[in-house]
Copies of this chain bind each other. A is one copy, B any other.
Amino acid sequence: MREVSVSEVWKRKYPEPVVLVTSVDEKGKPNIIALGWSMPTSFEPPMLAISVGKTRYSHKLISEGKEFVLAFPQEGMKDEVLYCGTHSGRKVDKFKETGLTAQPAKEVRPPLMEECLVNMECKVVGELDTGDHTIFAGRIVRASVSEEEGQRLYSLGGERLGGVRESG
């Protein structure tokens, strides 16, 4: 074992599942953020957690609105995910720019994305300050899946994205 910086360790964490998260401003206008840092966090009640950078526009929207939708993008969505991960909703309309299709959620104000494999409607029930991020813990109040069986998208390091398969 050789001591290294944490950034050196993070280089070995790929492939890492990537997710898209929608939230809305006080007028209901939706935004999308791409996140590498998320995890399930309870079976009963069903919950998941996301880490959102404090400077990100979605941090403000989720802090204020207390709701989000977490979705699994599929392999064919590399360009859209990369766009959402490298542009700010303060400046652009990401639904318009990516062409992703917003679909009304049933239990929360942020929309689902029709092209994603799964969408989970979440209400924020806990927050934890963690350095330069906040963990938002969301109770999953409704879940839906696409009819197609697609392959999940993963971050492969840096801005590289792709699918993964079990290896021999």
Contacts and interface: CB of A to CB of B under 8 A. Distances in A.
A145 B12 CA distance: 9
Given A6-B46, A131-B44, A167 B145 contact: no
Interface stretch (A26-34, A59-67, A83-91, A111-119): A111-119
Contact of A165 (B9, B144, B164): B164
Please classify how large the interface on chain A is, using the bins under 10, 10 to 19, 20 to 34, 35 or more.
35 or more
Main secondary structure of the interface of A (DSSP, over half): strand
A69 to B, nearest CB: 11
Contact of A12 (B9, B142, B152): B152
A27 B103 CA distance: 55
Contacts of A159: none
